[in-house]
Homo-oligomer: A and B are copies of this chain.
Amino acid sequence: MVKLNDETRAAYSRYLLELLEQDQTTVFRLKFLDLHPVDQVEVFQQLDETAKEKFYTLMTPSELADIFEELELEEQKEVASNWEDSAMGDVFNHMNADDVADFLGELHEDQREGILTSMDDEDAEDVKELLTYEEETAGAIMTKEIVSLHETEQVSTVLERLRNEAPDAEMIYYLYVVDEAEKLTGVVSLRDLMVASLDATIGEVMSKRVVSVHVNEDQEDVAQLIKKYDFLAVPVISNTEVLLGIVTVDDVMDVLEEEATEDLAEFSATRGATDVNISAFQAAKKRTPWIVLLMLFGMLTAGIIGSFEETLEQVVLLSAFIPMLMGSAGNVGTQSLAIVVRGLALGNFEKKGLVRALGREFGTGLLIGITCALVLLIIIPFFFDDSLYLAGIVGVSLLISLAMAAVVGSVVPLIINKFKLDPAIASGPFITTFNDIVSITIYFSIATTLLQFL
């Protein structure tokens, strides 16, 4: 029994690497295959090029398939570049069609064709079908390796069938029932089968209450559905309700993580740069365009302030409150944005209307603004001499800016969502820059107006 924890992992890896180096191939195979595929991958990643070459010759296509499935895309590409098309075809025949499609989808057309022709026809067909579905839909993440039943089958026959088909199917705990036209008509769990009478028919024990998703449905909606109902899988159907495959809970966990990473990336303008294992130069290349773009927008505020140069010369201290004012508006806007983006992601907006949500955000912004303005009216005169008028200007500007910031932060993602785009593209930095411009304009307009009366 090999159960790895953080302490034993490193030692066991070293032991395996030594076995391989000393050409103790039989022992190596035995010990290596005793690991869970996920742990096998961690050992594999530590091999150098020569060791990898040796490793490929020791393993069967089916064993290599287990490892290949678990690798990241970049690693898969590197490994594949060392293999012949025919060797790859052998390995891919042992992988789930959805994993093969994920990988081939990233390759050049010609390369893809070469590999597909070297695969078994039946497996290649499944992969080709999956490649036709759009990215990030149910079709793109579903698995084709399923067991489907007919209503007329007897429970005992099905249990017997499962003994043969179970090893190949990705999921045998939910079994979906179809009619002669392959249309989905019901579902029966393995648990139901276990407790059913052996001579009952599937039609008698199945549940007709089967929740399914359309093949073009967004993967995030599929994830939310599986999460809502605590399903282990959900069937995917075509326009004509034909059962095409299933999406399983483990695929959906990856989707949830992906979407959370995406949301946070949009929030921080780090799209494509969240990988911590790329070089400083690569990271800078991906992050700089956002920063320069935002800086150019930020230059608008410089232009606005520049146009109020006379007001500034009159009261130089006005500029002292720019950071605080901008920071506060930015914070309130980001809060509103986060609440709306998360609310949309979790589907919480279905229950209540959007207009109500907007009104609520405006009210919230106003209440926060009033509190902050009152605090400022007390503390500014305390720190800056003879500055009650300054406190007045800053306080009123803050109040209006915060109410505006809350509305901007919530309206923008909601509008984007209305147009069926991902609300997170109204990323935090863009909302903040927009709010900077709004609050600076409010501030200097109010200051210029009020200073006329002094």
| A352 at the B interface (CB under 8 A) | yes
| A228 at the B interface (CB under 8 A) | yes
Known interface pairs A283-B364, A312-B319; A191-B209 also in contact (CB < 8 Å): no
The answer to whether B173 touches A228 (Cβ under 8 A) is no
Known interface pairs A167-B195, A172-B191; A372-B292 also in contact (CB < 8 Å): yes
The answer to whether A338 touches B265 (Cβ under 8 A) is yes
Interface of chain A: mostly helix, strand, loop or mixed: helix
Which B-chain residue is minimally distant from A312 (CB atoms)? B316
Known interface pairs A253-B249, A283-B360; A294-B367 also in contact (CB < 8 Å): no
Contact with B along A326-339 (1 / 0, CB 8 A): 11101110110111
The answer to whether B338 touches A264 (Cβ under 8 A) is yes
The answer to whether A368 touches B291 (Cβ under 8 A) is yes
Known interface pairs A256-B253, A328-B291; A269-B334 also in contact (CB < 8 Å): yes
A427 CA to B426 CA in the complex, in Å?
20
| A317 at the B interface (CB under 8 A) | yes
Nearest Cβ in chain B — how far from A407, in angstroms? 12
A341 CA to B321 CA in the complex, in Å?
31
Nearest Cβ in chain B — how far from A306, in angstroms? 5
User: Inside 8 A of A371's CB, which chain B residues have their CB?
Assistant: 284, 288, 291-292
Known interface pairs A327-B294, A371-B288; A276-B364 also in contact (CB < 8 Å): no
Most buried by B among A268, A346, A362: A268
The answer to whether A299 touches B383 (Cβ under 8 A) is yes
| A454 at the B interface (CB under 8 A) | no
Known interface pairs A163-B194, A316-B313; A268-B269 also in contact (CB < 8 Å): no
Known interface pairs A250-B230, A270-B339; A309-B298 also in contact (CB < 8 Å): no
Most buried by B among A2, A264, A270: A264
Nearest Cβ in chain B — how far from A110, in angstroms? 33
Residues of A92-114 contacting chain B, CB below 8 A = none
A132 CA to B320 CA in the complex, in Å?
53
The answer to whether A302 touches B321 (Cβ under 8 A) is yes
| A3 at the B interface (CB under 8 A) | yes
Which B-chain residue is minimally distant from A164 (CB atoms)? B195
The answer to whether A305 touches B323 (Cβ under 8 A) is yes
| A324 at the B interface (CB under 8 A) | yes
Q: A211 touches which one: B3, B270, B279 (CB < 8 A)?
A: B3
Which B-chain residue is minimally distant from A376 (CB atoms)? B295
Nearest Cβ in chain B — how far from A214, in angstroms? 10
A277 CA to B343 CA in the complex, in Å?
9
The answer to whether B351 touches A195 (Cβ under 8 A) is no
Known interface pairs A364-B280, A368-B288; A302-B273 also in contact (CB < 8 Å): no
| A348 at the B interface (CB under 8 A) | yes
Identify which of A24-32, A52-60, A117-125, A432-440 touches chain B.
A432-440
Q: A162 touches which one: B194, B261, B342 (CB < 8 A)?
A: B194
Which B-chain residue is minimally distant from A38 (CB atoms)? B229
| A34 at the B interface (CB under 8 A) | yes
| A200 at the B interface (CB under 8 A) | no
| A77 at the B interface (CB under 8 A) | no
Contact with B along A350-372 (1 / 0, CB 8 A): 01100001011111100110011
25 A-B pairs within 8 Å (CB atoms) are namely: A162-B194, A166-B195, A167-B195, A226-B253, A256-B257, A265-B338, A267-B338, A269-B331, A273-B335, A275-B348, A276-B340, A276-B352, A280-B359, A281-B363, A284-B368, A287-B335, A288-B368, A295-B372, A296-B375, A299-B383, A306-B384, A309-B316, A312-B316, A323-B436, A334-B428
